[in-house]
Structure 1
Amino acid sequence: MMLNYKAIEIFTNEEARCSGKPVADAVVQYVRDLKLAARCTVSRGISGCYESGEMTTGRLEILSYNLPLHINIVLPADACDQVLDGLDVLVCDGIIAVKDLMVVSHKTASTFFPRQLTVRDVMTKSPVSITADQKLDTATNLLLSSIFTGLPVVDEIGHPLGVITQGDLINRGGLPLRLGILVNSEENDRETIMTALSHKQVHEVMSKPAVCIGDEQPLTKAVELMLEKRLKRLPVVNSENILVGMLSRLDIFTTVMREAPDWKAFHAQKITVNNLHTVRDILRQDTKTVSSKTPLDKVMQIIDGNDIQCVAVVDETNHLVGMIADSDLLHYFKPDPQGVRALFALLTHPLSADLAEKLSSTTAGEVMRTELQIADENMVLEEAITLMTQEQLKRLPVVDKQGHFQGMISRDSLLRTGYKSLRES
């Protein structure tokens, strides 16, 4: 079956400008930003003449200048008018022509994130940092006010020395519970924890040495390093080894969300997209499940004992009916200060008989969150990333077409599979 396509041809020259930018560069950027199933190429001629009578040549014995440029845009016919709408403004010197094409097939490949991107293009610039001699309570307060769970540690010049993370605070600093719980705890409990943390300095617990990446390095190199070292973030340095940014998985996913085309639209246009992965490819099927009748003390033990830090609630037919994470426990208990202290006590002290009874008599069904963001197992990775980034989710439950729970996907699995697909393309 033939596909109905158009070819837009632009005949211009090297000196043509649009707002001070070469026309060819402006057109390529314009087409790219539309995220259509369009392929754009630019060719330079070796000689020619223009309407003005000017002659050009690329011969070495004669100074070459203002050589002809041919810009060719091939795209589905129904997208042609959309592209043409903006081209006339961009091409202030040249000819724009359109012709019909009957295309036999159109195939492309998903690259997850464009190879031309550098770390500087993606990183969070001018990040908040801390020095090694500051106290842990200061570091904790900075992390509580940040969307990130890691903070770069620098010397007085700005050279990275290490990173202090939530894990460092818990494993070596004496923080008794995760930051998400701490920020919602009672004021007296927070003050008690902060006072204890103030007796240690950052250098005593930070992860060191700092694993850094140069700001001019390709983004692909940074992702490779993050996966190799199993890191969630990297300090970014300039040529003088001064901290200039932080690169996190969230930064990378935000970029993927911004750059990715609409693959569903491509499929509707009969375009074959190779190397396109779905969430089915990256499922973690070891996610724990409970029923709505499971006692809360059992649920909390499961959450505290796995790295996903949440549990799925399913019915007797394995349909997903809810999710429970730390934040859901806090939301449920917050109206009752004694309930919050019960949760706090479970993580810091042996339970009293009264608290144990309170938790064992509460069920998962009373606490679970039922308004869920859910991924269908056939959702492509870029769609899942968009959903998780927009909703600030670290994990996402996956179901099949019938609503049966299949497992979870996480930021780490998304990044790992996306990088693998890039290497294979």
Structure 2
Amino acid sequence: MGIVREPIIVRPHDSLLHTIKIMTMEYVPKLIVGDENGNPLGVVTQKDVLKFISKMGSRELDSVYVSEVMRKDIVTVTSDIEPLEAAQILIEKKQPMLIVTSDSGRILGMIIKSDLSQYYGSLIRGIQKISEYMSKNPIIINENSSMHEALNLILSNDISRLIVVSDGKIVGTITTTDLLYLAPVLKMKEVNVKVKEVMTPTIVIVDEYEDLNYAARLMANRKVKGLPVVGVSGELKGILTTTDIVRALTDEKIRKYLLELKLYTTTF
């Protein structure tokens, strides 16, 4: 599969409201900010938007420019970049995406972690276990907590999702996507919306000793970016995200596995 997807571009003088509509309607967590000539200026993520909303006070969403919210520390690559190299750059430079550009610097596409996770699921199996790469001690929130508590936890811990529990059992997840749908009311502290009213009910969990390939394929098929991980007795052990799978791609064992796979397939 190809790891470069079509870019979705907003302009620096587009409104934050316009950006939120694109993110929610197109179901994309990250956008490229480009100028009128197609040159990249920055990127804007759901977390960037939520962080800004939490501090914007009484301003209206349609009065905020994308240029006020975007991050400028972008990394550009060429379209012939190898998946493992892309994974290495994303992890080492802690980037939300890579912008693919032409020789003249124009935007051609973008590479995000979901695509690399899908790449992993399509080719690599039997090498790594979920337990090796999951994030342990995941942050949880009770279903009766408020959406503002969820927002504060997500922003203060620099994560994209929380596991929602009720009486010690996993009942769902709440993500930056879920919160973004409530963007117009997030800045209204007096509005009391409970987590259980906006969370995504979790019907998919994975066992810590499953093959990482299984989780990567499950994420791709269900179009999710994180899965709760449980132990043999069903107890919560961790959370696995597309970031964890991209990190797994940087393991030298994967490079050797793909090289052997290439040699084997070309021989026959």
Relative to the length of structure 1, the TM-score reads 0.50
Q: 1:325 to 1:131 in 2, by over 3 A?
A: closer
**Corresponding position: 1:323 with 2:172:** yes
What corresponds to 1:112 in structure 2? none
1-structure distance, mates of 2:225, 2:148: 19
Change (3 A) 1:205 1:325: closer
Q: Which of these residues, 190, 193, 203, is aligned with residue 351 of structure 1?
A: 190
Which position in structure 2 is the counterpart of 1:123? 4
1:383 matched to 2:214: yes
Letter in 1 for 2:153: G
- Distance of 1:135 and 1:260 partners within structure 2: 41
State whether residues 299 and 311 of structure 1, in contact with CA within 8 Å, keep that contact through their aligned partners in structure 2.
no
Structure 2 counterpart of 1:287, one-letter code: P
RMSD of equivalent CA atoms: 3.6
Query: What 5-or-longer segments of structure 1 have no aligned partner?
Result: 1-116, 178-192, 264-275, 331-339
Structure number with larger C-alpha Rg: 1
For the structure 1 residues 321 and 220, does the alpha-carbon distance in structure 2 shift closer, same or farther, using more than 3 Å as the test?
A: closer
Correspondence for 1:40: none
In structure 2, distance between residues paired with 1:245 and 1:368: 31
Aligned length: 249
Aligned residue number for residue 63 of structure 1 = none
Tell me the equivalent position of 2:149: 301
2:254 corresponds to which residue? 422
- Mapped to 1, the partners of 2:198 and 2:63 lie a distance apart of 36
1:344 and 1:151 map into 2 onto residues whose CA distance is 20
- What does the per-residue CA deviation read over 1:239-282, in whole Å, with 9 as the maximum and x for residues that have no partner? 22111111111111222222335x4xxxxxxxxxxxx2111112
Shift of 1:408: 1.3
- How far apart, CA to CA, are the structure 2 residues paired with 1:212 and 1:227? 14
- Equivalent residues of 1:302, 1:311 under 8 A apart: no
Q: In the alignment, what sits opposite 2:163? A: 311
SS for the counterpart of 1:122 is coil
CA deviation map 1:380-420 (0-9, x unaligned): 11111001111112211112222222121112122112322
Which residue does the alignment assign to 2:260? none
How does 1:166-315 map onto structure 2 within 5 Å?
166-172=46-52, 174=53, 196-260=60-124, 263=126, 276-289=127-140, 296-297=144-145, 301=149, 304-306=152-154, 307-313=159-165
> Does 1:396 find its partner at 2:260?
no
Supply the distance in 2 between the matched residues of 1:148 and 1:368 (Cα, whole angstroms).
18
Matches within 5 A, 1:1-12: none
**Bigger RCO of structures 1 and 2 (CA < 8 A, at least 6 apart):** 2
**Residue type of the partner of 1:311?**
I
TM-score normalised by structure 2 residue count: 0.76
SS in 2 for 1:132: coil
Task: State how far apart, in whole Å, the 2-side matches of 1:223 and 1:277 are.
Answer: 16
1:327-350 CA distance string (max 9 Å, x none): 9x99xxxxxxxxx9xx986x4334
Counterpart amino acid of residue 407 in structure 1:
G
Matched, 1:159 2:39: yes
Contact 1:287–1:312 (CA under 8 A) maintained in structure 2: no
Of residues 137, 147, 151 in structure 1, which corresponds to 2:17?
Answer: 137
